Structure 1
Amino acid sequence: MKATWNNQIIAQSDATKVIENNHYFPADSIHKEYFKESSTQSNCPWKGVASYYSIEVGGSENKDAAWYYPNAKHGAKEIENHVAFWKGVKIEQ
């Protein structure tokens, strides 16, 4: 699977995990040079507290376009520290 935004591959992996129709990419499969830590957090009742990244490519920013669970709850441990995307990031094979 590939995640692309602004015509740039920002993550690529053969080992994504699909939860609620989102592909979660292993942390070592993202191209970290395009990711900036965000202070944004949200809470999922069964997955836990999500942290966010903003994505920067070619001088453009996509604020909070990626999220991950650094300390996932028991039922979501398989996606702990895996990164998922939204806000126009294209996921394809």
Structure 2
Amino acid sequence: MAKAVIGGTVIAEADRTTLISLEGNLYFPPAAIRPGSLQQSSTQYTCPWKGAARYYDVVTDGAQTHDAAWCYPHPHQSAITRVGTDFSGYVAFDPREADIVD
């Protein structure tokens, strides 16, 4: 099992076979995210080939890490084709803030 850990708290946990690797980041399936750990932030970004991203602050035991996670809720169809699988809603974590461990 792979885990995304921030501040000693496991934010996501999933079998490695369910993760998607994109541009050096591992994306966890939506069901792998710990309930209540993500709060949508106001940060906006649009990737030219993936589409509009949604950023999240990660909440861990009273602490909040700004923009530590993101996803593409509705990636461009061409991005899904390029990646070879639908990664809608999959969540990646900022490697400066999260440790991905087995």
Q: Which has the larger radius of gyration?
A: 2
- Corresponding residue number in structure 2 for 1:29: 32
Letter paired with 2:90: H
Give the match for residue 89 of structure 1: 98
2:67 aligns with 64
By how many angstroms is 1:46 displaced? Answer: 0.5
What is the total number of aligned residue pairs between the two structures?
93
Cα deviation, 1:23-75, whole Å, max 9, x if unaligned, reads 00011110022111112120111100100110011221101110000110123
State the Cα distance separating 1:92 from its structure 2 match.
1.7
Q: d(CA) in 2 for partners of 1:21 and 1:75?
A: 19
Runs of 4 or more, structure 1, over 6 Å off, are none
Is there any run of 5+ residues in structure 2 with no aligned partner, and where?
A: 81-85
1:79 aligns with 2:87: yes
Matched, 1:12 2:21: no
Gaps of 5+ in 1: none
Q: What is the aligned-residue identity percentage?
A: 38
